[in-house]
Chain A
Amino acid sequence: MANAIQFKVNGVAHSFDDDPDTPLLWYLRDILGLTGTKFGCGVGLCGACTIHKNGDAIRACITPMSSLAGAEIRTIEDIGANGLHPVQKMWIQFNVPQCGYCQSGQIMQAIALLKTKPKPTDQDIDDGMAANICRCGTYQRIRAAIKAAAKELA
């Protein structure tokens, strides 16, 4: 384990010494069983696999394990672990999800957006959320929920 990569997932220390090219997505899903992070495209085009690395939203499907040394990874499972996050609460209040498959990624992206843009404009929301596809088309509710969550967090 001399060359094992050390990092944390949802506050718990882990190490990895298998193929360093393995994407974080499949480590989370197949090894740790954290299936809240979804597979949608595999090439960073849809955002279904969005997680936080050191607080930034990134795509787990194109993040190799080799890039994780010392990283703090946070997934959807940890977001509501001690009570729902204001973004999750607004997702419920605005009845955002339809099929829900993309919503873990949308929520992770929205939380990261609100950290850098606490009072997001429509343009900020377009810029911040355009990498996350929702095929059911819940975008207008996502927009409304983000604005409401911003007020909640203010």
Chain B
Amino acid sequence: MSAIENVSRRGFLKGVATAGALVLGACYAPEILWGQQSNDLRTDDGQTDADKATLHPNVFVGVETDGTVWIVAHRSEMGTVIRTSLPLVVADELDADWKRVKIDQAIGDPRYGDQNTDGSHSIRSFFDVVRFSGATARLMLIRAAAQQWGVPASECQTEIHTVVHSSSGRRLGYGELATAASKLSVPKKDEVQLKPKSAWRYIGKGMTSYDLTDLVTGKAVYGMDAHLEGMLYASIEHPPVLGGKIKTVDSAEALKVAGVSRTVVVDPFKPPPAFQPLGGVAVLANSTWAAFQGRKKLKIDWDNGPNETYDSDQYKKELQEGARTPAKVIRSQGDVDKAFASTAQTYEADYYVPLLAHAPMEPMVALAEFKDGKVHAWAPTQNPQAVQAIVSSELGIRKEDVICHVTLLGGGFGRKSKPDYVAEAAVLSHKVGRPVKVVWTREDDIQFDYYNAVAAMYMKAALDSKGKPVAWLQRSVFPPITSIFDVNAVYGDPGHLQQGWTDMPYDIPNLRIENGPVKAHVRIGWLRSVANIYHAFAVQTFSDELAHRAKRDPADYLLDLIGQPRTLNFTGVDYPNYGAAYDTYPWETGRLRRVTEMVVEKSGWGKRKLGKGAGVGIAAHRSFLTYVATVVEVEVNDQGDVRIPRVDTVVDAGLVVNPEVTKAQFEGAAVFGTSVARSGEITAKNGVIEQSNFDTYPVARINEAPYQTNVYLVESDAPPAGVGEPGVPPFIPALCNAIYVATGKRVRELPLSRTDLGKQS
């Protein structure tokens, strides 16, 4: 018995995987959908069931003669239900009966286009692609039926899973037509007609997760559950400080632990770290527990290297000083300095958000087997093509010889886009000649993360007599994500500066946005909504401070700041717009205004009677091309304990494919934001991370999470935008703004545990 069989019906694969002529460079959408049947272009290895189906017009879909429809999920499932939602779009355009659809999880393969399941862009980037994929198959089935009946294809339509010739009443099922359709040439894209919106069967209505029953019966297979006969379990003692190296190691006691078979030194990375293994000593054993026990007996003397003096308290001061020092200008209009000099009233504030860990429920884990010059890896990864790249470079084999099977992910939040742990399994299997499953402990997960950047922000406004800003300066300093790829990187890159900073949307005549330099001493990575977390915290808290200062209603004041509906103009500014074309996804302040007005109405803002120690706060933010406004209600007792009875959030994400699971994403984002706000903080002394498990890095529990989160989706014909991340950024400042109303205490520094919210102080 092998649990792997649940993951991959292809079992344990043999032979060569090569996409041959189909290999493309990295691109968001595959370009090979039309005009080629890829069945015979691959060896058996790495083929999906869709590839092997009788009718197989493109990489995403296959139809069997028994009517089974295979749809390939090429994005990773970590809880967003994308493994269901994109195939649902294919099924809609194919007019398939969802009950007869089977989903096949793709291996890592450039023929699918981009597979990095992050950045909240799976639907946005692939909606049109997979619609055409389903519609192509549908057209071929129609043409096959028309040919059989000797009638023009234009006289035929589809009903669910069936082609129909209405005037004669003839009908043929998709299974019956699969063989004939497979003999037709694949239509070109311009021959294929997509359904009108009115004919959509599933899009916009949605469907629960394909895996739902497995998820509640323990049958769902995650990376942690991958198993191969004869595999060894490995636990790795990493260098406690980033960039550390082994001076001496004594494995004698470790090897005496029952079940431990050997220890292996894993080479340290060559800077920059990127996705290389961190290095250290691996203990290999016949069970996970034996590997953990053996590891505790290792005696290692470390050379901690250059990050040994890293102290997060000291570093915080460095960041805060940096935020008060003129820095690189990334956007400017009008003359801020002149306005500050000539305006009587100015207001300034400093904000701070610490390093954050991802802490998905499933720690990092991967199983790999090196055999005959190739690696098969089973991993809970958000990015199987990055697995191919790093394993290929670590072992000096071709990318095509790295076959990455994607299991379900026990949470990801961005951490599992970085496949250092998969590279470890591959390197170890290569060294020991057996399949190796690397299992990280929770302590490993917290201490060796790619942390969301710590950030300091400085905000300053010059105000007119009514308290409205006439000049606005904002400056941030944070160690950039690019530092994991470039040892000299110290400034934020445009891709992260754009996240709620470069695109500050207020209508202010004099505006300057800056970013200062700082060096990283830990691996920095992206975490659910990334730089939006700290940028939205600073901008939306500062806005609320100005509202209270002007004795204005914060919601009214926020709407005044957003201003009249207009499209922001980023001419001359490096603004990547999340990789989307600006004319398709312009930054429209009218949409931010609308969600803000709606959340005021839906939450009963200003109308609800609040009890003692209660308060409501508001914030609005656009991220990943989605507009969100959130109202949070809090109750703070005399001891300073915070309860969150209610959250209302209004979302304009353009077209939404799967509304119910989208609402769940925003409910979850409120809980994620609660964790960040309440207790999210990673610190370091002498280069060593001080937190290690859920006791020192607490995340929100059921009694701490919002009691009720109401999510309202704006009906929209705008193209689809992100839904996994955009709920997080506005939640945190809305919560802190509510706390101000409830307690009179302004939170400028996260987490809340840093501020005494009790009555006595």
A contacts, CB < 8 Å to B? 18-19, 22-23, 26, 29-31, 33-43, 45-46, 48, 75-77, 79-80, 84, 88, 91-92, 95-104, 107, 122, 125-127, 129-143
Q: Judging by beta carbons under 8 Å apart, are A30 and B288 in contact?
A: yes
A107 to B219, CA, bound (A): 14
Which B residues, 94 to 146, have Cβ-Cβ distances below 8 Å to chain A? none
B209 to chain A: closest residue by CB: A97
**A26-B287, A30-B233, A95-B208 given as contacts; is B668 within 8 A of A84 (CB)?**
no
Report the minimal beta-carbon distance from A47 to chain B, rounded to whole angstroms.
9
Can you pick out 27 interface pairs between chain A and chain B where the beta carbons lie within 8 Å of each other? A30-B288, A33-B227, A38-B224, A41-B442, A42-B441, A45-B693, A77-B219, A80-B217, A84-B213, A91-B216, A95-B212, A97-B212, A99-B408, A101-B362, A126-B702, A126-B703, A129-B702, A130-B702, A130-B703, A132-B702, A133-B361, A134-B671, A135-B675, A136-B668, A137-B705, A138-B668, A141-B667
Q: Judging by beta carbons under 8 Å apart, are A133 and B694 in contact?
A: yes
B361 to chain A: closest residue by CB: A101
Q: Judging by beta carbons under 8 Å apart, are B694 and A46 in contact?
A: yes
A97 to B700, CA, bound (A): 17
Chain A hits for B227, CB < 8 A:
33, 35
State whether the Cβ of B72 lies closer than 8 Å to any Cβ in chain A.
no
Q: Judging by beta carbons under 8 Å apart, are B78 and A76 in contact?
A: no
- Since A30-B288, A43-B442, A137-B705 are in contact, a sample of 7 more A-B pairs with Cβ atoms closer than 8 Å, ordered by chain A residue number, is A22-B289, A46-B361, A77-B219, A97-B216, A99-B78, A100-B79, A130-B701
Which B residues, 1 to 48, have Cβ-Cβ distances below 8 Å to chain A? 1, 3
Q: Judging by beta carbons under 8 Å apart, are B706 and A140 in contact?
A: yes
Q: Judging by beta carbons under 8 Å apart, are A137 and B219 in contact?
A: no
B705 to chain A: closest residue by CB: A139
Chain B hits for A43, CB < 8 A:
442, 693, 695
* Contact for B289 among A26, A129, A135, A139, CB less than 8 A: A26
Residue from the set B221, B227, B258, B702 with the largest chain A CB neighbour count within 10 Å: B702
Q: Judging by beta carbons under 8 Å apart, are B664 and A138 in contact?
A: yes
Main secondary structure of the interface of A (DSSP, over half): loop
Report the minimal beta-carbon distance from B744 to chain A, rounded to whole angstroms.
28
* Contact for B216 among A35, A88, A98, CB less than 8 A: A88
State whether the Cβ of B350 lies closer than 8 Å to any Cβ in chain A.
no
State whether the Cβ of B176 lies closer than 8 Å to any Cβ in chain A.
no
State whether the Cβ of B677 lies closer than 8 Å to any Cβ in chain A.
no
A92 to B708, CA, bound (A): 19
Q: Judging by beta carbons under 8 Å apart, are B218 and A36 in contact?
A: yes
* Contact for B410 among A18, A22, A37, A101, CB less than 8 A: A101
Q: Judging by beta carbons under 8 Å apart, are B411 and A101 in contact?
A: yes
**A92-B216, A101-B222, A101-B410 given as contacts; is B258 within 8 A of A18 (CB)?**
yes
A138 to B428, CA, bound (A): 36
Q: Judging by beta carbons under 8 Å apart, are A98 and B668 in contact?
A: yes
* Contact for A88 among B217, B221, B709, CB less than 8 A: B217
Chain B hits for A76, CB < 8 A:
217-218
State whether the Cβ of B660 lies closer than 8 Å to any Cβ in chain A.
yes
A41 to chain B: closest residue by CB: B442
Which B residues, 358 to 398, have Cβ-Cβ distances below 8 Å to chain A? 359-363
A144 to chain B: closest residue by CB: B708
**A30-B287, A35-B218, A45-B693 given as contacts; is B669 within 8 A of A137 (CB)?**
yes
Chain B hits for A141, CB < 8 A:
664, 667
